[in-house]
A and B are shown apart, each in its own frame.
Chain A
């Protein structure tokens, strides 16, 4: 079916509204995102389908299978919309009980309700969950309303009305002005004002008049997966934003560059593009306007550096993804030497939202300098792992302790890492920091694409710096010397420190090299590569010093610099640790203190985790005398 005008779209939306059936009760299960599938949500959904069929309820109950709902920790979760109940970690065998007790009789099942790890209280209503309380799910919220590959659902939920509005009520320049009013900044990490980028793209000269609009979905930061979830859960919101952007810039051809590691996102995107074309929302003369636009999907091939604009465009051209010096910006000469406007997945989704709610309204969210919301993936040593969308300006403390529910096993918070390999580690003394572009940069980290990795007292900061540097060493494209050689040498120094062979002078060398890298590397990958090292040196210098002078890793991560010991006083001889040990290094009789054979021990920590009496400790390696 082809929609030829904004009015036809609006009429079609009205005709759809009845289809859902207001009398039907709804069950929401997230089955279309990689992480919930892993936790078995498909089986739960299948069980619901079979069970409803069996009881002849299939007509009265609508099963909505959505994309990511954000709260990965408690998947598979089931929301019974009419009963206003959320169940966590549901297993297929729980399904009949849920239908009988809650769906039909209206009684909640206590054991399946979410239990807050801090207060131990149980919550029934999804809105009451502390995890969702401080969030403002401007973009992710739509995931709950739609099935990802159903354009009907998207249109019913108000989708493509932003596009209709932009095309019929705004001139291209006015579209840019509206984005300017909203104050939207690039969500890929740099925070460049989107309207300014679009203006340059519109004004830049193109010999044959061709301009490109590109969506950067090469989400390479380890620990960040918000772009994946948006593309998997709601691909149309990104497509709609891109069409609006193309109209503003005057482009007829768009690209989405997406990681090949995200097969489900690629599949959903392709289906969504096909649907949009069938409905006349992509292609020639969109919604009867003069604007024509098409989108092509290009799959990456596993290179972190391809998230950088020039490298990404080189990769689309079929070349090796190496960045170039940006004397001429890509908005002027980018892909195929033509003006190219590149924005991140989340930025495009925000564009759609701005035109749905109005720029002035949008601006009220967030802070003066950074309006709007930002999606973070809250991962690592945190109770409530998941995707959180918060207004800018919220403090780190609120995200980690109120939304995230604090650190598991009551361990002590040590640091939070933001901005991926280009970002830095923020210590607990800065937890009251409001999260926006400028504040994070001030403390030596950055917004980045939005990974937020929480670390506790068992995380070694030297090891974290070593991890990121090693990652970047492998991902450096090798074009410029500072990055290729500098990062490699820094990585060697850090390896040495973690092995207990470092010198105190190494710390000065690391700082000096870090500064050189900042000034001389060709692209952002290199110039920010030292951030993890520099911030950990700044805030956790004592850990480096302990590794070097005392040959001791206080967190018990660097294997050569600590050992496990059993406290004979505390050990009850329960054998729990001995059973877990993969190399049979623990010996001892039942009810008598055990011993660890240090020669055999591979320091995997299984015994440490298994012990319920705190009898296993991380201790210094005794220095041989003489």
Chain B
């Protein structure tokens, strides 16, 4: 905060100004509090409009209050407040100086619209003959390649509907042994689901990986029965032998180490599965032998 209070209690005159970066709900509230206490505030926002993610939400947790009802009065107030200067569609380029005396260089991007006069009615977006002049949503050009072609086939066989999303992701994983970005982008485009949501779904479920996996997949069951029978020791030994933590792949791309919650073969615990082959009653001593047999196969 580039200001100081002289601290004598009655001299409440504030000097200096404050920069707030990011005009989401937190940035707006911080700016308004600062502006109310007498500071000049520069509110910097990267996108053309303020409000951030909260304006895209329907409800807030845990009270289920309407999100726009909370945020929209603040948007208006922030833009009207005499102590707040909005810098939208701008980015911080450089900060120099030290606490108490900062210099900031801001780049305001060209938008070819007079911000003073624009009311944000949206008519220009609707009538613009050339798409994407006004940045509404970022789109990535998808260049056709082997991955997109295969993904297209998978989508065709599963059906291009929302309900098929998880099945498509499963089939794609089966085809590539992970989910390549190009595949996710193809799915997003064909199913007309925002990329963020496809990515969100892919990263939510444990069955999907966004990184390529090794040639041999080593799974250690960490179900309760295996746990009390010593599975953590087996996992530890595998981590030591392969030199990788759970969830990672060895540098030579030979082994990926994973844990699973329960394979339902509790009579044989602890269990290690390599490439779908089960090895029961594992102990720290037996692990090395199992890994060796697979390493030698190559």
Q: A604: CB under 8 A from chain B?
A: yes
* A301 lies within 8 A of B284 (CB): no
* A224 lies within 8 A of B166 (CB): no
* A222 lies within 8 A of B261 (CB): yes
* B233 lies within 8 A of A225 (CB): no
Smallest Cβ distance from A216 to chain B, in angstroms? Answer: 16
Q: A75: CB under 8 A from chain B?
A: yes
* B228 lies within 8 A of A459 (CB): yes
* A260 lies within 8 A of B170 (CB): yes
Q: A316: CB under 8 A from chain B?
A: yes
* B266 lies within 8 A of A304 (CB): no
Smallest Cβ distance from A452 to chain B, in angstroms? Answer: 10
Question: How many angstroms from the CA of A57 to the CA of B229 in the assembled complex?
Answer: 43
* B262 lies within 8 A of A604 (CB): no
* B200 lies within 8 A of A320 (CB): yes
* A480 lies within 8 A of B164 (CB): no
- CB contacts (< 8 Å) of B197 on chain A: these are 319-320
Do A38 and B204 form a contact, CB below 8 Å, given A220-B261, A451-B224? no
Question: How many angstroms from the CA of A418 to the CA of B185 in the assembled complex?
Answer: 44
* A318 lies within 8 A of B163 (CB): yes
Do A303 and B224 form a contact, CB below 8 Å, given A35-B268, A316-B163, A604-B284? no
Q: CB-defined interface of A479-497 with B at 8 Å, one 1/0 digit per residue?
A: 1110000000000000000
> How many B residues have CB within 8 A of the partner chain?
47
- CB contacts (< 8 Å) of A480 on chain B: these are 61-62
- CB contacts (< 8 Å) of B260 on chain A: these are 261
Q: A584: CB under 8 A from chain B?
A: no
Question: How many angstroms from the CA of A381 to the CA of B208 in the assembled complex?
Answer: 33
**Residues 27-68 of A contacting B (Cβ, < 8 Å):** 34-35, 38-39
Q: A6: CB under 8 A from chain B?
A: no
One of A38, A222, A320 near B223 (C-beta < 8 A): A222
- CB contacts (< 8 Å) of A609 on chain B: these are 283
Q: A325: CB under 8 A from chain B?
A: yes
Q: A582: CB under 8 A from chain B?
A: yes
Smallest Cβ distance from A421 to chain B, in angstroms? Answer: 8
* B233 lies within 8 A of A604 (CB): yes
Q: B7: CB under 8 A from chain A?
A: no
- CB contacts (< 8 Å) of B194 on chain A: these are none
* A582 lies within 8 A of B285 (CB): yes
Do A301 and B266 form a contact, CB below 8 Å, given A451-B224, A480-B61? no
Q: CB-defined interface of A396-432 with B at 8 Å, one 1/0 digit per residue?
A: 0000000000000000000001001000000000000
Question: How many angstroms from the CA of A38 to the CA of B277 in the assembled complex?
Answer: 9
Q: B243: CB under 8 A from chain A?
A: no
Do A34 and B263 form a contact, CB below 8 Å, given A301-B170, A380-B228, A606-B285? yes
CB-CB nearest in chain B for A265: B264
* A582 lies within 8 A of B237 (CB): yes
CB-CB nearest in chain A for B240: A602
Smallest Cβ distance from B117 to chain A, in angstroms? Answer: 42
* B265 lies within 8 A of A34 (CB): yes
- Supply 12 further A-B pairs (C-beta < 8 A) apart from A35-B265, A301-B205: A39-B268, A225-B262, A299-B170, A303-B204, A320-B204, A321-B204, A468-B224, A582-B284, A604-B233, A605-B230, A606-B283, A606-B284
A residues in contact (CB < 8 Å) with B: 34-35, 38-39, 72-73, 75, 219-225, 228-229, 260-262, 298-304, 315-322, 325, 377, 379-381, 385-386, 417, 420, 451, 453, 455, 459, 464, 467-468, 471, 477, 479-481, 520, 522, 580, 582, 602, 604-606, 609
B residues in contact (CB < 8 Å) with A: 61-62, 64, 161-167, 169-170, 197, 200-201, 204-208, 222-225, 227-230, 233, 236-237, 260-269, 278, 280, 283-285, 288
